[in-house]
Structure formats: structure tokens, C-alpha cells
Amino acid sequence: MSNPGTPEPQPTAQPQADADERLQQRYGRGSSHLGQRAGNPGISRRNIIIVVFIAAIAAVATWFIIDAQRGSIQAALRSWESPADGVMPVIVEVDRSPDTVLTCELIAVDIRHIVVGQLEFEIPAGEPARQLVEADIPLRGDAIAPELLGCSRDG
């Protein structure tokens, strides 16, 4: 039974289309766009995460490639002698690219581990790549042991 002035509701053939239309009117997007950003329906969060992840991997790979091209530096304190005449003789072994100029820093410490001598010296570029370098740390106290603080590239 219907009223003469009101049309009878027609059964819809596409309930999903009606639901999408209601969602579109209410929220500005339909169910086919769930999981996508409202501002740009073509880019999902998953795609953004994938792009950021790939960019991070590329950055790390680039850093490793650049670091490998620069060459690594290895330095170690090989031996030392007892202090004599106000100096402590030491031998440092360095392994680096032959075209690399290095600056190394040594210290000498006393029994209480107080610094009683310090030396910064340069190793010029040139062959061989692995060298034994002799150095004398000037002392201002009774040293018992040297320490290699490290070697770094110049430039």
C-alpha cells in the first residue's frame, strides 16, 4: 500500500554502489579507496614506506661505496723501549693507501695513567702501503707505556 504523493522505494540492484555513495558523501571517499590517503588517493602508506626504505638502502650503499673508495686506515702500536734521555722510542705500524697522508697522535702515560708525553706526527704519502714508523715521544715525567690515540687522513 502506497501513498499517492510519495513514490515507493525501489529495490537497488547494487548495494555496494549505494554504500560507496554514502561513504563518499559522508567522508569524502568510498570503500574502494580504503587504506589510501585522503589528500592524494593514488599514493598509499605502503608505497610511501617502500620508497623511504629503498632510499635508506641507497644512502647506506652509497656511504659504503664512498668509504671503500677512500681506503681504510689501520694503525697499531708495535713496540716501545724504556724511556731514555727524556724520550720514549716507539714503533707504529700503519696500513693505508699509498697516496694517503696521515697524521698520528701518540701519548705516554705514567703509572697513574696521567699523560706525561704527547706527540703528533705526519706520515707522508708514498710506498709501501704498510710501513713501520719510528717516533720519539718527548717526556715531562716518568712514563711507563705509550698509547696510540689514532691516525687520520689529512685533507
Question: Does residue 3 form part of some domain?
Answer: no
- Would you place residue 64 in the very low, low, confident or very high pLDDT band (cuts 50, 70, 90)? confident
Q: Evaluate if residue 40 carries a pLDDT over 70.
A: no
Quote the pLDDT of residue 126.
84
**In the chain, pLDDT over 90 holds for what percent of residues?**
49
Of 101, 103, 95, which is closest to residue 124 (Cα–Cα)?
101
94 plus 134 within the same structural domain: yes
Given a contact cutoff of 8 angstroms between Cβ atoms, the answer to whether 121 and 43 are in contact is: no
132 plus 100 within the same structural domain: yes
Q: Evaluate if residue 125 carries a pLDDT over 80.
A: yes
CATH of the domain at 109: 2.60.40.3230
- Would you place residue 21 in the very low, low, confident or very high pLDDT band (cuts 50, 70, 90)? confident
Task: Note down the domain range covering 26.
Answer: 15-69
62 plus 89 within the same structural domain: no
78 plus 64 within the same structural domain: no
119 plus 53 within the same structural domain: no
Question: Does residue 128 form part of some domain?
Answer: yes
62 plus 79 within the same structural domain: no
Decide which of 38 and 83 is more confident.
Answer: 83
49 plus 112 within the same structural domain: no
Domain boundary among 53, 69, 85: 69
Residue keyed to cell 702500536:
77
47 plus 97 within the same structural domain: no
Quote the pLDDT of residue 10.
61
91 plus 137 within the same structural domain: yes
Q: How many domains does the chain have?
A: 2
Quote the pLDDT of residue 1.
54
- Is-above-0.75 flag for pTM? no
**Helix (H) / strand (E) containing 93:** strand 87-95
- Would you place residue 29 in the very low, low, confident or very high pLDDT band (cuts 50, 70, 90)? low
63 plus 103 within the same structural domain: no
Residue keyed to cell 558523501:
25
Quote the pLDDT of residue 3.
60
65 plus 128 within the same structural domain: no
Quote the pLDDT of residue 19.
76
- Burial of residue 122, with CB atoms counted within 10 A of its CB: 0-12 exposed, 13-18 middle, 19 or more buried: exposed
Residue keyed to cell 703528533:
120
Residue keyed to cell 698520528:
104
Given a contact cutoff of 8 angstroms between Cβ atoms, the answer to whether 143 and 108 are in contact is: yes
**Helix (H) / strand (E) containing 107:** strand 102-109
64 plus 31 within the same structural domain: yes
